[in-house]
């Protein structure tokens, strides 16, 4: 199914699909247009749960007076947050399975979902300003969650990169022991399989990099000496 919406920027009417991978833009001015569609039991998963955007679900009924009152306010929220928020209207009488799934006991019931997960929920009508702040809080919650996920992934990637060179201080399997007298960093490692010593702790595992195929970090480099391949401290320090 599709719906006809008006571009708030140029007034052009646009047909928007019920489900898509991106978000709709005006065919004339290319601005983001409000995404307002209907859904039922048959297509709820495709239209709502698989949507890449945050979805505001309006669970309403045709006989409900407050539902008709809050509908313009929700459309205003969808217009104000075009490109970030999708508004999906679900008639609970025509979609009883969806109503049971979310334990709807009163209408209107408003849900904000992100890939099927409920970010926020409220029942009853509210003015546009209140609904807009409520939607912004849910959008911020999603942004904070996405930011935390990216930071966690970045940390894991950095640790994985540092641990990819056996014997580097970032390697989790390194067994450290007290250093010989005079060690500047206070620790050293047992001999490796080739007899070469693994590096002391330098405190910079996240800066691991490779130059000409040689593993190195900010303070230590892997090279060959008279005693064989070892970790040596950089001379410019």
* Residues taking part in catalysis: 64, 67
Question: How would DSSP label each residue in 96-156?
Answer: HHHHHHTT--SSSEEEEEETTEEEEEEES---HHHHHHHHHHHHHHHHHHHHHHHHHHHHH
Residues 150/151/153/157 CA torsion (nearest 10 deg)? 130
Three-state SS for 184-208 is CCCCECCECCCCCECCCCCCCHHHC
Cβ pair 41, 96 in contact under 8 A: yes
Map tokens 């749960």 to a residue.
49
Is-cis flag, bond preceding 14, omega within 30? no
């Amino acid at each position: 199914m599709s719906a006809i919406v008006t571009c708030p920027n140029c007034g052009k009417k646009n047909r928007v699909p019920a489900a898509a991978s991106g978000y709709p833009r005006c065919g004339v001015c290319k601005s983001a247009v409000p995404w307002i569609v209907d859904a039922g039991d048959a297509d709820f998963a495709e239209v709502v749960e698989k949507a890449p955007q945050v979805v505001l679900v309006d669970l309403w009924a045709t006989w409900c007076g407050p539902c008709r009152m809050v509908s313009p306010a929700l459309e205003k929220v969808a217009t104000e947050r075009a490109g970030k928020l999708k508004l999906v209207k679900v008639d609970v009488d025509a979609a009883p399975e969806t109503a049971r799934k979310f334990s709807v006991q009163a209408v209107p019931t408003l849900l904000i979902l992100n890939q099927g997960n409920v970010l926020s929920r409220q029942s009853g009508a509210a003015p546009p300003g209140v609904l807009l702040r409520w939607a912004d809080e849910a959008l911020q919650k999603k942004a904070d969650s996405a930011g935390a996920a990216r930071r966690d992934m970045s940390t894991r990637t950095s640790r994985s990169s540092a641990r990819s060179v056996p014997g580097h201080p970032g390697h989790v399997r390194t067994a450290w022991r007290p250093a010989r007298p005079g060690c500047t960093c206070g620790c050293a490692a047992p001999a490796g399989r080739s007899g070469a010593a693994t590096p002391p702790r330098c405190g910079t595992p996240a800066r691991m990099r490779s130059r000409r195929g040689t593993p190195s970090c900010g303070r230590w480099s892997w090279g060959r000496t008279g005693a064989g391949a070892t970790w040596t401290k950089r001379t410019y320090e």
